[in-house]
Chain A
């Protein structure tokens, strides 16, 4: 039987993978992609819970809005990456230390 905890466990695993990728990788593009992974994991958990309690469609709606917000975030994030590249000619987050000290 596939119950909700299967999906939640999968969501946790994906979230963990995404989080580790975010913290470890230094390439800013990979960092953004890891954020995508994390958000997808959250979406999965939401929809799974909604399926377990199908009184209303709140979970799916939430996930829908998450997708929309996340799309906006990716757009702006990539614009920032482009600006960073224009200034520093690098995609490494280590080099984005203009606010140091």
Chain B
């Protein structure tokens, strides 16, 4: 069947991609422009069909890709194939060391990596759209919501399917924009708008890094699309070029002299170009994927509706950073330093976020910090060179995290029936015993919690354990190690203890993950009674039925109906996602447990990561460490779950309170998210504010004061002088006219002789002196320069011819007499330059 599809759409011009992209865009446009007029039902149909159609097209594309891959198998070796489609030629630029032309086209391609992501985005996107039709049913901004959601799907697909960096950047910015729009969806409330802004600005800081990375790649490799960069990658490690090293301090490779000489370091600090590119791109990825230092927007992003959190901040947008690292894996692996940095940042973030999630009471905040922590795991995976494992974790995380968020949304939806304060509706301290009232939600949440905690045989187990295993055994190898050692150049080698250290941190984070996820589960769904409101008996409910209608003053001390299970549009996606969360690992596992004859993810992604396979070396005895290291992961799960069970079920939360009382400072610090937001406020934002204040002061005093006021003063000064002339009385004007006329007349009465000298021929020594004409002028000449006029009488002769020898100067005088009898004379010096004799070379 794939072959039939390929015959319809050739692999080089696979225009079905246009359908995948165009359907969500069309949905966004129609819902955005005419949504309100069309009504909720039409909007729902439009949005669902747009994403559903896109999903179907994605499936068809994937089948075509699979058959295309099968057609290019040689033995066990896959070729890296992709289906591409060019929309139009966008622009071109000159870059690269050779100054070559880089054409930038709007071009999309589907290969093994982007094929999987595409299915994930459209599939989970469709389920979340279905969920939102029930969740947002009563919201007045229904049409606007679906317009934004469809637009987000379009932008995310642009990002994933892009064939070059500029188009990816368009998608990158697009998802940032949609994230802003959707976080601040209920913009009437100030905190929601502020959260949207924070997300956008934090992303923007990262985008700066991405742009710098783009520029560096374009100028070094001379290309911006994946194949081009791969081809030109050699120049990043070309040690013969001057640009191989980028001078960080002193900046630009100069020398500090004179009074600045104290700044001059002993050894100039340089980084390789590959490291620079990696750092720049890493900044972009930390912004989008919420790692340290740019993670601060993700917890605040919970201000948006829960489906938004599920789609954007769990499954898709935040994984864009990991996707970029996988995409440009061959660039990152050039620099072992950057790889170490990625892994360290990932591990640190995983642990850091897990500690914050331990004490949060808002269920969405717990899930937000859990997302940050899991993203840290993904970064850890790709940072140690386990790209397939990291990407597999992206794949599984999409399922269980989306499921977790949707379950939380289901619970909040039920709470909102009586609780209208947003914070209280999400507070886990007011939930409990919901497994009796909302069974489907409970079982989905339970399944996903098992997955995230790493319960064996769930998908989370396979992905997380693979990452932990590889972090111990992987060692980065510099792909150009032999060249560098031959040239005796510096080479960064990560320390030997890095692997085990990362493993330990990872296991610790996994333990904390299991603990806080089960804590959330127990607080929300277990327990003896529901803490939100008293659940009244049916007779009491009927008597107080009228209370339910007063939405703003619902007295929670009055008994009310039990929290209800959500409608089918919400529960069906939960079931589907929970099932995938559990079984995806078994089907697509990339771990050591291999079920042969099933196309595993590892095998599928092999051609994509083939170039980087030789940059990773497994340490000796790696095979034997498989089960012991996996055991560490299982132990983490057991300890975390066990402690949570003991603390919250057996001891009903008392140890938690005792710990909080014993270390109140630490507890507050964790609850306040380590006060990082306040730190940023005090340092960076304060610095920007100070700069803004300085600029404002400069603008007001100097620019407004001097540049604007001084010319104004000058103009008014001259104006007052000139105004004195405008008396308005005609006589005065006439008097001025007469004075002007008198000057004019003086000019005519007294002659002003002037003459021009023109040379005859070239260097003949003959010059013609021509006098300027005037009214009634008569002339007398002194052509030979002897000081006496040649004739006594004046005549009409206006020009005279003079001959000069070389190097001589002669003063010709002319006297003009006007008709009134006044005469005036002027002297005209003529010089003839001495000619330069050619140098005698001594040759005759």
Contacts and interface: CB of A to CB of B under 8 A. Distances in A.
A15 interface: no
Contact of B728 (A19, A26, A100): A100
B729 A93 contact: yes
A23 B735 CA distance: 7
A90 B735 CA distance: 22
A17 B114 CA distance: 102
17 contacts: A22-B734, A23-B731, A26-B731, A93-B729, A94-B729, A96-B729, A96-B730, A97-B727, A97-B728, A98-B728, A99-B728, A100-B726, A100-B727, A100-B728, A100-B729, A101-B723, A101-B726
A78 to B, nearest CB: 15
B726 A94 contact: no
Given A22-B734, A99-B726, A101-B726, 17 more contacts: A23-B731, A23-B734, A23-B738, A26-B731, A31-B731, A93-B731, A96-B729, A96-B730, A97-B728, A97-B729, A98-B728, A99-B728, A100-B726, A100-B727, A100-B728, A100-B729, A101-B723
Contacts of B723: 101
A93 B730 contact: yes
Closest 8 CB pairs of A and B: A97-B728, A100-B728, A99-B728, A101-B723, A93-B731, A97-B729, A101-B726, A93-B730
Nearest to A97: B728
Summarize B's interface: helix, strand, loop or mixed. Answer: helix
Contacts of A99: 726, 728
Interface in A45-101: 93-94, 96-101
Contacts of B738: 19, 23
A101 B727 CA distance: 6
Nearest to B734: A23
A38 to B, nearest CB: 12
A22 to B, nearest CB: 7
Contacts of B734: 22-23
Q: How large is the interface on B (under 10, 10 to 19, 20 to 34, 35 or more residues)?
A: 10 to 19
A93 B728 CA distance: 9
B728 A101 contact: yes
Contacts of A100: 726-729
Interface in B706-760: 723, 726-731, 734-735, 738
B735 to A, nearest CB: 6
A52 B427 CA distance: 119
Which of B727, B729, B735 counts the most A-chain CB atoms under 10 A from its CB?
B729
A19 B735 CA distance: 10
Contacts of B726: 99-101
A5 B475 CA distance: 118
Contacts of B730: 93, 96
Interface in A8-46: 19, 22-23, 26, 31
Q: How large is the interface on A (under 10, 10 to 19, 20 to 34, 35 or more residues)?
A: 10 to 19
Nearest to B723: A101
A46 B729 CA distance: 32
A9 to B, nearest CB: 15
A19 B734 CA distance: 10
A97 B723 CA distance: 13
B123 to A, nearest CB: 80
A94 B730 CA distance: 8
A40 B274 CA distance: 97
Contacts of B729: 93-94, 96-97, 100
A23 B742 CA distance: 14
A29 to B, nearest CB: 14
Contacts of A26: 731
A31 B738 CA distance: 15
Nearest to B737: A23
A101 to B, nearest CB: 5
Nearest to A25: B731
A93 B731 CA distance: 7
Contacts of B731: 23, 26, 31, 93-94
B726 to A, nearest CB: 5
Contacts of A93: 729-731
A57 to B, nearest CB: 27
Contacts of A96: 728-730
A99 B726 CA distance: 8
Nearest to B730: A93
B719 to A, nearest CB: 10
Nearest to A95: B729
Contacts of B728: 96-101
Contacts of A98: 728
B675 to A, nearest CB: 67
A52 B727 CA distance: 45
Nearest to B731: A93
B740 to A, nearest CB: 13
Nearest to B725: A101
Interface string B803-829: 000000000000000000000000000
Contacts of B735: 23
A56 to B, nearest CB: 25
A51 B133 CA distance: 109
A100 B727 CA distance: 5
A98 to B, nearest CB: 6
B155 to A, nearest CB: 64
A93 B729 CA distance: 6
A25 B738 CA distance: 15
Which of A19, A96, A100, A101 counts the most B-chain CB atoms under 10 A from its CB?
A101
A90 to B, nearest CB: 12
Which of B723, B730, B735 counts the most A-chain CB atoms under 10 A from its CB?
B730
Nearest to B726: A101
A56 B575 CA distance: 118
A19 B726 CA distance: 22
B255 to A, nearest CB: 64
A80 B738 CA distance: 24
A17 B514 CA distance: 117
Nearest to B720: A101
A23 B741 CA distance: 14
Interface string B126-145: 00000000000000000000
Contacts of B727: 97, 100
Contacts of A97: 727-729
A26 B731 CA distance: 8
A26 B726 CA distance: 18
Nearest to B738: A23
Interface in B605-646: none
A89 B735 CA distance: 25
A53 to B, nearest CB: 18
B723 to A, nearest CB: 5
A97 B734 CA distance: 14
Contacts of A23: 731, 734-735, 738
A73 to B, nearest CB: 15
B834 to A, nearest CB: 57
A93 B738 CA distance: 18
Contacts of A22: 734
A65 B723 CA distance: 39
Nearest to B719: A101
A97 B727 CA distance: 7
A22 B735 CA distance: 10
Interface string B427-445: 0000000000000000000
B385 to A, nearest CB: 84
A95 B723 CA distance: 18
A4 B242 CA distance: 94
Which of A26, A31, A94 counts the most B-chain CB atoms under 10 A from its CB?
A94
Nearest to A98: B728
Contacts of A101: 723, 726, 728
B685 to A, nearest CB: 54
A13 B730 CA distance: 24
B739 to A, nearest CB: 11
A23 B723 CA distance: 22
A5 to B, nearest CB: 14
Which of B723, B727, B728, B735 counts the most A-chain CB atoms under 10 A from its CB?
B728
